[in-house]
Amino acid sequence: MGNFDLLMHGFGVAITPMHLMLMVGGVLMGLVVGVLPGLGAPNGVSLLIPLTFALDPTSAIILLSSMYWGALFGGSTTSILFNIPGEPSSVATTFDGYPMARKGESTRALTLAFMSAGVGALVGVVVITLLAGWASNFALQFGAPEYFAVYFLAFAAFIGMGSASPAKTLVSLTTGLLLATVGMDTVTGEIRLTFGLDQLLSGISFLVVVIGLFGIGELLSTVQEGLRFRGVSSKIDLRDVLRTIAELPRYWATSVRSALIGIWMGITPGGPTAASFMSYGIARQASRKGEAFGTGRPEGIVAPETADHSAGSCAMLPMLALGVPSSATAAVMMGGLMIWGLTPGPMLFATKPDFVWGLIASMYVSNLIGVILVLATVPMFAALLRIPFAIIGPMIVVICFVGAYTVSNASFDLWLVLLFGLVGYLFTKLGYPLAPLVLAMVLGHKAENAFHQSMILSNGSLEIFFSNTLVTSIMLIALALLILPKTLQLGSRLRRKAPVE
C-alpha cells in the first residue's frame, strides 16, 4: 500500500521538535481566534501568512493548518456558552449546544462538541490518506448543475423536516435569500440591492448577521427574562468530561453519518458550514425518540460538529489536488502555497511528497493535540457561565461588536449587528425559525450562481438537472428529503404535538 508508506514518511517529516512546537502554537492561536467571534479562521490565517515567509513551506503549512484546526475547535465554544457562533460553521452547534448549556450541562455540551469534532477530523484525515487520488477525480465530476443539486440537497435536508410552521420557515428562508443577493453578482456583474450605499457593495457579511441574530438577539431575550442565564449553577468537574467521553459511543450512528456527510461536502465545494447544517438536519430526520431537537439533544451537538470537522479536514484535499479551496480558510492557505512557490494541482502529490504527506501526517498529530488542549480548557470555559450576568452581559456586547468590526474593519457593520440583533429578537419571540435564514445566507448566492450557470449551459432548460446519473441521483435524494417528511408528518400530526424549533 503506497499511501501507507508515504504517510509514514510524512510522519518522519512532521514529527520534529520544531514542528510539534508549531503545532501547539498554531492550535493555541487558532483557539483564541476561533473563540472570538468575527475574527475567524480565514482572518487569523491571513494574519499569520507574513510570518511564514521565514519558514520552509512544510513548516509554514503545518503552522497555518494547525491554526485552522484550533479555530474550528474554538468556534464551538462560544456557540455553546453564549449562543454566539465563533465561526460560520459552528452556527448549527448553537441549536442544541446552547440549550444544553442552559440546562446546566455546559461541561457535557463542550466535551461532546470537542470529542465529536476530534472524531470528525480524524475520520477526515484517514479518508484523505486512503483516497487521495480517487477523491480529486470525484470532485472533477462536479459541474454547475451538480453544484446546484448539492446546494439544493443541503436546503432540502435542512428545511424539509423543519418543525416550525411552513409559512414561517418560508418567510425566514426568503429573507435569507434576499440578504444573500445584496452586492455584486458574479454571473451578471450587476450590483443589486445596495440602494446606492457603498458599504453594501461587497454584500452583507454572513458573520455580522449571525453575530447580531444570535449574540445580540439572545442577549435581548435574556434581558427580558430577568437578567440571568438559566442554569448557571453548573457543577464543574473533570469527571464530567470523562463521563461524557464514555457516553460518546452511544451516538455512533450519528457520528458515522455526519462524518460521511462532512467528507462529501469537504471534497466537493459545499464546505464545512453546509456540511454542519445538512448533518444536523439529517440527524433530526433520523431520530425517532420523543425528545425534540433544539432542546439540548446530544445528537444535535455530535452531528454538526463531526460533519464540520471532517469537512474542514477534507477541504484540504481539493485545495492541494485541484487548486480549488472548498472553504474560505483553505482559500487563504492556497494563496500561501503560491507565495511559497508551490503550485496546487494534481501533480503536487507527485512532485512534493514531503510537503503533502508531511501536512497530512501533521493533521493527525495536530488534531490530537487540539483535542487534548481543548478538553483541558473545558472546566475553564464552563466556569465562565458562573460569572453573574451583570458582568458577562456587557462583555458579550463588547465581544459581539468587536467581532463584527473585525470581519472587515467597517463601522457600518456595527449598525448591521444592532439591526440584526433586533431582527433575531423579534424572530425568536414570534416563533420564526432563524436557521433557514442563516442557511439561505450561506448557500443562497452559491446556489443562485450554480443555477444561473446551469441555465446558461442548457439554454434555459431544467432538463440539465437530470442529464446524468450523478446529478439525477442527488436531485432525487433532495426531492425525497423535501417531500417525504412533510407527507409523513401529515399522517402523524394529530397524534403528536409538533415540537417547536
Partner 1 sequence: MIKTRIALLTATAVMVAAPALADWAPNRPIEFVVASGAGGGTDNFARTIQSALTRNDIVDAPMVVLNKGGGSGAEAFLYARQNAGDPNKLIFGTNNVYLLPYVAKLAYTTEDLQPVAALALDEFLVWVKADSPYESITDLIDAAKEAPGTITFGGSQSKDTDETLVALIEQVSGADFKYVPFNGGGETGVQLAGGHIAANVNNPNENIGQWQAGAVRPLCVFSPERMAESEPIGDDMGWHDIPTCKEAGLDIESYQMPRTVWLPKDTDPEVVAFYEDAMKKVAETPEWQDYLTKTSQTGAVLLDEELASFIQTNEDNTVKVFQAEGWTAAE
Q: Which of 18, 21, 201, 372 binds partner 1 (CB under 8 A)?
A: 201
Residue 230 CB partners (closer than 8 Å, separation 6+): 102, 103
Helix, strand, or coil (residue 392): helix
Q: Which of 25, 143, 353, 379 binds partner 1 (CB under 8 A)?
A: 143
- State yes or no: residue 408 binds partner 1 (CB under 8 A): yes
- State yes or no: residue 331 binds partner 1 (CB under 8 A): yes
Q: Which of 144, 213, 282, 363 binds partner 1 (CB under 8 A)?
A: 144
Which one of 183-191, 247-255, 379-387, 390-398 is the stretch in contact with partner 1 (CB under 8 A)? 183-191
Cell 449546544 appears where?
A: 97
Beta bridge partners of 192: 183
Q: How far apart are the first and last CA of the chain?
A: 48
How many angstroms from the chain centroid is the CA of residue 331?
15
Helix, strand, or coil (residue 201): coil
3-state helix, strand, coil in the chain (%, to 5): 75, 0, 20
Closest CB to partner 1 among 303 and 328?
328
Which positions from 455 through 494 interact with partner 1, judged by CB under 8 A? Answer: 456-457
Pairing of strands 183-184, 191-192: antiparallel
Cell digits of residue 369: 493535540
Which one of 27-35, 94-102, 197-205, 359-367 is the stretch in contact with partner 1 (CB under 8 A)? 197-205
Cell 477534507 appears where?
A: 314
Side-chain-facing half-sphere of 471: CA atoms under 13 Å: 19
Cell digits of residue 400: 459581539
| Minimum distance of partner 1 from residue 195's CB (angstroms) | 12
Which one of 33-41, 82-90, 324-332, 367-375 is the stretch in contact with partner 1 (CB under 8 A)? 324-332
Closest CB to partner 1 among 118 and 336?
336
Q: Which backbone phi and psi does 270 adopt, to 5 degrees?
A: -85, -35
Q: Which of 2, 17, 226, 341 binds partner 1 (CB under 8 A)?
A: 341
The contact pattern for partner 1, residues 349-388, with x = CB under 8 A and - = no contact, is ----------------------------------------
- State yes or no: residue 70 binds partner 1 (CB under 8 A): no
* Alpha-carbon separation of residue 331 from 213, 365, 422 (angstroms): 27, 23, 33
| Minimum distance of partner 1 from residue 60's CB (angstroms) | 12
**Per-residue b/e over 115-136, b at no fewer than 16 CB within 10 Å?**
bbbbbbbbbbbbbbbebbeebb
**How many of the chain's residues bind partner 1 (CB under 8 A)?**
49
| Minimum distance of partner 1 from residue 129's CB (angstroms) | 21
Q: Which of 8, 18, 21, 184 binds partner 1 (CB under 8 A)?
A: 184
- State yes or no: residue 51 binds partner 1 (CB under 8 A): no
How many angstroms from the chain centroid is the CA of residue 90?
5
- State yes or no: residue 270 binds partner 1 (CB under 8 A): no
What residues line the site for partner 1 (CB under 8 A)? 42, 46, 49-50, 53, 139-144, 183-191, 198, 201-203, 322-325, 328, 331-335, 338-339, 341, 343-348, 408-409, 449, 453, 456-457
